[in-house]
Each structure stands twice: as structure tokens, then as C-alpha cells.
Structure 1
Amino acid sequence: MTGKHLSSERGYRRMVRPREGEVRFQVGVEQTDLLVVAELDLRDEIAAFVSTVRGEIKNWILFHPEFAESLVPVAVPDGAPEVVRAMAAAAESCGVGPMAAVAGAVAQAVGDKFAARSPNILVENGGDTYLRSTRERVVALLADPGSGASLGLRIEAGAFPVALCASSGTIGHSLSLGSGDLVAVRARDARLADAAATALGNLLGSERDMDRVLKRARELAPHGLDGVFAQYDAKVAAWGDLELVALD
């Protein structure tokens, strides 16, 4: 995949500023690279937990390779691990393959697991973010890493948990069949947000597709999609529960 902004760097993480009483740290386990903001340093515990979650997914793929390879939904039995079932359910809702939900699934698993120890915990996994918070947050919307972010999404204190997941045909290495700069999805469930971002990003092949993206987003609302922001070059569109703010 190629794109005008394609980069393996994650310089956007420099924009993440913990609040008073919070720390930020990175957790890397094989291909998983998390940035976490929490009320205490949990990196060792999170790394061990991520290894367990990854192990469940990898073991499932070992005996069911179609789970990793398919670009369309794959049915899984009730006896599958919870993370596998959640990924499959999100993919089914959005009409994509299960791995479209993997980054959001890992982020949410971590956030939910450690929320009792840190009521404020923000987990970012390659542009897909799951947030639990007792206070208002602003999340930057980044369509061009070279010029930084000028637009953000404000999330009120009582709205959490919130997932914000992104897909791009020009940024990063995740598979997108579209060529838009950014599709960002808001939902309470990170697995759904991740799968929906991929599905909507696949539709964005030109500026003319903006209405198509918003129409599909509204169709996904009954499944839990709360809002979508899309950008193609200079054209932007938004729908749903999104309070956009200018960043300093």
C-alpha cells in the first residue's frame, strides 16, 4: 500500500499530554504497540495481559486461518474466546473481516481489565483508542502527520467509555481499500468502532463518496456507531455525536 502520508513513525504520540496525577507509558508485545495514559504505571501487568489476549487470538488463528485471512465476516462458535467472538460480531455488523477489529479489541480488553485500578485509563493502539475517564478529554483528529492536527473531538466527562478508531488510505500500514485521508468513528465499543472505520474507509475512494460514507454510518447506528468524521483532501464531512473543536 502506498500513500502520500504513509509512515511507520508515530510522532502523533508526542501530542498526548497526561493530566495531573497521570502517567504515560508504552507497552510493546510482538506486533502490538500501545501508548497508555493511566493513574499509575501498569506497564508490566498490561504487557502480561496483552500477551494472554494475543495468545488467544493467535491460537484461534492457528486452527482457523480464515479468521486472519478473510476480508468478509467469519462465523465463530459460542465456545471461542471472548475476544475472538467480539471481533467476529463487530465484523459481522460492518461486513468486513474479523481482523479489522483486532486493534480495537486489544485496546478495549486492556482498558476494561485495568479500569478498576485506574478509573482514568486511555489506551491507543495504532490510531485506535479506547478511553475510560472521569474528566473531559479532547482527542486530536490527524489526517496529515506532516502538518499536525488542528481539529479535535471533545468528549464530555459523563460519556465514557468511548472508542475512537480511524482508518486511512494514506496513513499507516493497515489495509484500506479506499484512498481517503481519514475516517474516524466514535462508538462505546472499540471492536465495533475499529471494524466500522475500516468498512467506511473502504468506501471513501474520492470526494464524491462522502455522502455514501455518511449514509452507511447512519445504517450502522443501530449497532452502536455514534458518529463519524471523514476527510478527503480539503473536503470534510461529519455525522452523529461529535463535538469538534479547534486545537491550539
Structure 2
Amino acid sequence: MKEKYLSTRRTYRESVRPHDGEVRFQVAVEQTDLLIVAQEDLRHEIASFVFQVRGEIKNWILFHPEFAESLSPVIVDDGAPEIIRAMAQAAALCDVGPMAAVAGAVAQAVGDFFSPRTPNILVENGGDTYLHSTRERVVALLAEPDSGAVVGLGIEAEAFPVAVCASSATIGHSLSLGAGDLVAVRAQDARLADAAATALCNMLRSEADIASVLERAQILAEFGVEGVFAQYNKKIAAWGNVELVALN
């Protein structure tokens, strides 16, 4: 088993550089810790919105504890809140538990709700990023926290909204059943990208599994996965709409 990097210091956020006319700020509500880049400081409005979103998820889990506990898909009824139904659908497509999509779900909820007010908005939630933008962007891919990100994913201006969600067995506190250093998934839907990153990283237990990860990614393309970056030790591979950009 590879050693897991568990530092709570999110030093990678220091590399986030807003463009002219944009501001960067943090929103923390209970366990949710967001980094936001937007055209105005909306921290209080976003904090209130996140509190409401978290309330919907927590209330559902209170009466349906299997939604939080299951590592496999869970069926929810049509009367469930939209965010619950979206998480469950993404999890079913990727054959993982619905909480595998929670970080992406919260990021997308924030980005979509506030994009009419700020057409340029980046929401990063524990390594999962959802963006609305009117210009090209680069999202850093972090595989070695101590040395900082050295490569990023370039995203063209006409592609937004876009999600880039990551899963790792060696970075952070999130559960992974694999041993890979990083799997990052690009998709328009952050719930799908988040669940897919978990599913694909679960498969990555050795360098030999990288080919299988990319094959599975191509199957998930039917549902909206657009590209995948995978790393195990020094071996990396990418498939789909993945433009890698060197970062200083």
C-alpha cells in the first residue's frame, strides 16, 4: 500500500491567479471548503447558498442513511431533491456510491446558481473544480503536493461550463479503493466527473492498470466523460479532450 499524503494544508491554492477584474476568496461551511474566483466578492451569498445545499443533502441522509454509507449505486425516488437525484444518477453510471459525486455536486450547484451574476466563476472543492468562463483557462493537476503542480489542463474558451474532478489514493482524505496517484476527469457535468474519477481511480492499482482505466473512460464517454488524465508513480497517460500545459 502506498503512503497517503494527508496534509490539510491546501498549498496548491496559492497558485490560483485571478485575471484582471476577478477576485479570489474562500467559503467554508462545516466540512465544505471552497475556493472561489469570481468577478465580485460573493462570499456571504455563496456561504448562505452552500448552507442550503448542505441542508438538502444532510436531511436526505438523515432519513436515508444508505445514501451516505453505500459504496455502490443507490436508487432514489423522483421526489428527492435535484442534487440528490443528480448524485445518484452519476453514481449509477459509474457504479460507485452516490457520495462519490458530492464534491462535484456542490461545486456545480454553486457555479450554476451564481453564473448569471458572474459569468466568470471558478469553484474548487477539495480538488474538484467547476468553471463558467468567457476566456481560456488552465486547471492545475496535482500529483505531488510537496513539489506543487507542474502540469495543467488547458480548456478552450468556447467549452464552458467544464468540470475537472480528481481522485487519488495517495493525496487527501477521500476514500479510494485503488493505489493510483491521480485520476482527473474532464466533463461538462461535475457530478459525473467526480463519480467517474472515483470509479477510475479505484481501478488503478498498478501501472499495468492504466490501459484498463483509459478503456473504461472511453465507455463512460457515452454518458459525457470528455477526457481523462491518469498517473501511477512516474507513468502517466491521457485520453480524450486533454490538452496538457506545462506550469511554472
Alignment TM-score, normalising by the size of structure 2: 0.98
Structure 1 segments of 4+ aligned residues over 3 angstroms from their partners = none
Deviations 1:141-168 (A, max 9, x none): 1100111111111101000000000000
Q: Which amino acid aligns with 2:29?
A: V
Aligned residues: 248
Q: Does 1:94 pair with 2:94?
A: yes
Spell out the pairing of 1:1-248 with structure 2 (5 A cutoff): 3-248=3-248
Deviations 1:152-195 (A, max 9, x none): 11101000000000000000000000111100000000000000
In the TM superposition, residue 245 of structure 1 has moved relative to its aligned partner by: 1.2
Q: Which amino acid aligns with 2:34?
A: L
CA distance in 2, matches of 1:128, 1:242: 16
CA distance in 1, matches of 2:223, 2:4: 33
CA distance in 2, matches of 1:151, 1:4: 21
Q: Which amino acid aligns with 2:145?
A: P
In the TM superposition, residue 2 of structure 1 has moved relative to its aligned partner by: 7.1
Provide the secondary structure at the position in 1 that maps to 2:179.
Answer: coil
Bigger Cα displacement from structure 2, 238-247 vs 2-11: 2-11
Contact 2:2 2:179 in 1 (8 A): no
Aligned-pair Cα RMSD in Å: 1.0
Provide the secondary structure at the position in 2 that maps to 1:149.
Answer: coil
CA distance in 1, matches of 2:243, 2:121: 21
Q: Which amino acid aligns with 2:119?
A: P
CA distance in 1, matches of 2:113, 2:176: 30
CA distance in 1, matches of 2:204, 2:40: 40
CA distance in 2, matches of 1:54, 1:242: 32
Q: Identical aligned pairs, as a percentage?
A: 75
Deviations 1:116-160 (A, max 9, x none): 000000000000000000000011111001111111111010000
Contact 2:101 2:195 in 1 (8 A): yes
In the TM superposition, residue 234 of structure 1 has moved relative to its aligned partner by: 0.4
Runs (5+) with no aligned partner, structure 2: none
Alignment TM-score, normalising by the size of structure 1: 0.98
Provide the secondary structure at the position in 2 that maps to 1:230.
Answer: strand
Contact 1:165 1:193 in 2 (8 A): yes
Runs (5+) with no aligned partner, structure 1: none
Deviations 1:50-91 (A, max 9, x none): 000000000000000000000000000011000000000000
Deviations 1:34-58 (A, max 9, x none): 0000000000000000000000000
Q: Which amino acid aligns with 2:209?
A: D
Q: Which amino acid aligns with 1:60?
A: W
